[in-house]
């Protein structure tokens, strides 16, 4: 799924946390990904650069908390109808896996 939003420099709001939280970097405090944990990640495009933000379950300390906070903000941008459709697809997959 791709969610796009634009933020103008100096505009108020949550996207400025991306700068405050230093999301425009290549390295993160990563640990081992627990077996069975969420492996969702997101990417941020700034100009011509793309920054991959790892799943919070693979991060340590304050990096994990910061990623969780921004991920929740991004999830709120996606209409509930899409989340419902995705959940239904996930349930269908899980039921077919058990067969």
pLDDT of residue 42: 82
pLDDT of residue 88: 93
Per DSSP, the three-state class of 42 is strand
Give the pair of three-digit tokens for residue 25: 């970097």
- Which pLDDT score is estimated for 3? 54
| Three-state SS at 83 | helix
Residue 78 has what pLDDT?
82
Which ranges of the chain have pLDDT less than 50? none
d(CA 79, CA 86): 11
Model pTM above 0.75? no
Q: Tell me the C-alpha to C-alpha distance, in Å, between residue 33 and each of 40, 55, 57.
A: 11, 9, 6
* pLDDT on residue 7: 59
Q: What is the largest CA-CA distance in the chain?
A: 53
């Amino acid at each position: 799924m791709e969610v796009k939003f634009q933020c103008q420099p100096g505009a108020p709001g949550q996207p400025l946390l991306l700068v405050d939280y230093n999301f425009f970097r290549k390295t993160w405090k990563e640990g081992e990904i627990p077996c069975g944990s969420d492996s969702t990640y997101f990417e941020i495009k700034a100009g011509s650069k793309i920054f991959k933000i790892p799943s919070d379950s693979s991060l340590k300390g304050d990096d994990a908390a910061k990623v969780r906070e921004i991920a929740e903000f991004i999830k709120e941008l996606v209409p509930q109808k899409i989340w419902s459709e995705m959940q239904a697809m996930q349930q269908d997959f899980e039921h077919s896996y058990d067969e």
